[in-house]
Copies of this chain bind each other. A is one copy, B any other.
């Protein structure tokens, strides 16, 4: 299997990624030729998902170093500092992006030539990507023990291999349970407004032969009421000491799960944890109204209508049955050692 087939973002003589906005119609790999192109790709969600953004951040610094035309380490460090600010600002709520950028920058701190900086940045980005796959497999294995043979699992948005470098977090747990011989079926919420559930999660699971039924997120409660959902698993964009920030709609499912006594799990690597901060410290990005008002050429709402379109919501940890990490499963208020 080539890198393209197994990974969402990779380096092959340059930076490559799957353009996730083209799925499920087309599996297209694109070459990213500048930091500006990377930022456009992040903002328009060609690459998205917390762990994948971690790798994108680190590869972004490696790319900036590779593209630099200076022979001077002082100037190169200035260029990398600029790249850092630009990349971090492209999706401010996603903590992994910032984490990936910082990791690559720390790796170049002690390098003494421009070539050494270039090599160290790329080596670190590759390490971030490798670790992501290893982390997700460890996380998946830990979480798979929470799933029983025959379980029907609800998930929201895409916390699959497309959200990561490979394997996935929420879907990684499901994949690990299936790999362990359990019979698991999935309800995938389409996840408005950008349909990452219908476009990406449904596609990923169907590709793997895992039984998946697509629903609108508005159907989760009535399915729980009918007893047709055994567990819910989602990913996370940032876990502060009090809440889980994840795709808008996660909080609705968490409250519904609590009401119906369905376990509600959050699967996320330690890089997603930000225990130095609380909910009130974090600004949730609001996205373009046209994401809700237009679908291709089809106008779904009157022109000029007022729209509220936050990317994420916050789920208090007391609604979370367990946090699934590469260091094991933690039941709040217990938290992993960071």
A residues in contact (CB < 8 Å) with B: 24-25, 187, 190-193, 195, 198-199, 202-203, 206, 211-223, 225, 248-249, 251-252, 255-256, 258-259, 289, 292-293, 295-302, 305-310, 313-314
Contact = CB atoms under 8 A, between A and B. Distances in A.
A305 B255 contact: no
The 4 lowest CB-CB distance pairs between A and B, nearest first, are A218-B249, A296-B298, A198-B301, A222-B313
Contact of A199 (B212, B216, B301): B301
Contacts of A24: 299, 301-302
22 contacts: A24-B302, A190-B192, A190-B292, A190-B300, A190-B301, A192-B192, A192-B218, A198-B305, A202-B302, A203-B302, A214-B289, A214-B307, A214-B308, A217-B218, A217-B252, A218-B218, A219-B310, A221-B252, A222-B251, A222-B252, A222-B314, A295-B296
Nearest to A191: B218
Contacts of A292: 190, 198, 214-216
B306 A212 contact: yes
A259 B248 contact: no
A310 B193 CA distance: 20
